[in-house]
Amino acid sequence: MKPSPTYLDYAATTPVDPDAARAMSECLTSEGDFGNPSSTHLYGRAAAARIAQARAQVAALVGADAREIVFTSGATESNNLAILGAARNSAGGGRHLISARTEHKSVLDPFRRLEKEGFSVSWLTPAGGGRIDPQAFAAALRPDTVLAALMYANNETGVIEDVAAIGALCRERGVAFHCDCAQAVGKVPLALHDLPIDFAAFTAHKLYGPKGIGALYVREGARGLLQPLIYGGGQERNLRPGTLATHQIVGFGVACEVAARELPVEGPRIERLRKRLWQQLEALGGTHLNGGAAPRVPGILNVSFEGVHGEALVGALSGLAISTGSACSSESPEPSYVLRALGRNTQLAQSSLRFSLGRPTGESDVDRAAAEVAEALTRLRALSPARAPEADEVAAPLVSGEAGGPGADTWVRFHLLIAGDIVKEARFQAFACPHTMQVAAWLCGALRGRRRQGLIPGTPDAWAQEHHVPPEKLGRLLVVEDALRACLTHWSEALEYGDR
């Protein structure tokens, strides 16, 4: 049986803590506290008591009062409730908003929705170190600014923003300030009462609680700044109606209690592991630490690697469960704006990995990850077009052709060893995604024995169907075709060289 990959993606989600899972199971069956917490009978009161306890546990972890915790389905809903609820509630007093281009999608998309509703948004860009400059934030404030949102810790780099300074600027101007704390809660000490924050979003599944439950901190006194997004039974101070999911809330509460207990030990331990991993990766050469000049949460390490494509690198790391550091998806080849803001070029931004460590992570996991990355880097860098062929790889007559180039998303080069008009052998080099590499490797086999006339076997459309390449990546196969056409262009030159 093949061993499971080493999990280093705790910033994406975490397994449920056993104590939290046990507490959840106590609220599911007829033997437990399964009642509707809105009911006044014994079963309802028992469930309500469990929820009250959980609310206190959550509040204790974040340094808030239990009355300031509003349960939601997760950080996405919490962000939407804070942003849409505060902006729409304040629209009569102003329609200017401030956020950063490096926010999570659950912050960016509500702001874009508000732009369609007639609000104006100032989109800030982080400085070279990865943080929003408080002076740049101050310069963006206007008399009609009603809301600003800035994350506590970046989900790609782990960089911690100066929310105290920025929140103070908001407080001075009477601007509501929302903070996405999903990557911070349970990872670093947090005392919301000591910070000039009006609203803060977080979620259970980032701190060893269940998925589908989160919370919005609503500062006492800031309740009047919000209007609900949905309407119903009046639960959660009329901000988030609906029957409360007792089992999920109870699991959330226990997870927060465990996190508060473990944080003094786990924070330093995970930071040591992060440093250990970086030392090994740095020794590989051509590596760049993203966000290293700024304070960061302990468990996130974002590294860019020279000479390899990020998608190909992740594909080669079958023994690791990690994320690319890029915010792009398979539908969009655009590199992470976060990493571009740190000064990384397109290739470095795309060839980045986010390692995120958690409670189960040990030294052996970190060492195994570093060893697997080293092996994959060696293999992929040997295929990179940036590497000049070795002397024994260059034979005459040899036809070479390439398309793309340094800085491009896809860069492919073919080397064809020819005899007259026939291909004897074919090799390729590529900075490309796994699908493109697969097609290029297949073509090298298909090219052997082919004549100059009719060199290219089929079309990119046919290759995509044959190798199950997603339609959105067809453009990358056009680069492969262009590289073969470049070989045809240089064929006569190669024959002349071989006759000398």
Q: How many helices (H) and strands (E) does the chain have?
A: 14, 16
Pick from 261, 255, 263: nearest CA to 188? 263
Q: Which of 328, 433, 444, 487 is catalytic?
A: 328
**Omega into 397 within 30° of 0, i.e. cis?**
yes
Amino acid at residue number 186: G
Q: In this structure, how many other beta carbons lie within 10 angstroms of the beta carbon of residue 179?
A: 30
Helix (H) or strand (E) holding 264: helix 246-282
Pick from 23, 1, 4, 74: nearest CA to 360? 4
CA distance linking residue 119 with residue 94, whole number of Å? 9
CA distance linking residue 440 with residue 481, whole number of Å? 9
CA distance linking residue 306 with residue 183, whole number of Å? 27
- What does the buried/exposed string (b/e) look like for 297-331 if buried means 16 or more CB atoms within 10 Å of the residue's CB? bbbbbbbbbbbbbbbbbbbbbebbbbbbbbbbeee
Active site residue 170: no
Beta carbons within 8 Å of 241's beta carbon, 6+ residues apart = 228, 230, 231, 232, 233, 234, 235
Which residues form the catalytic set?
328
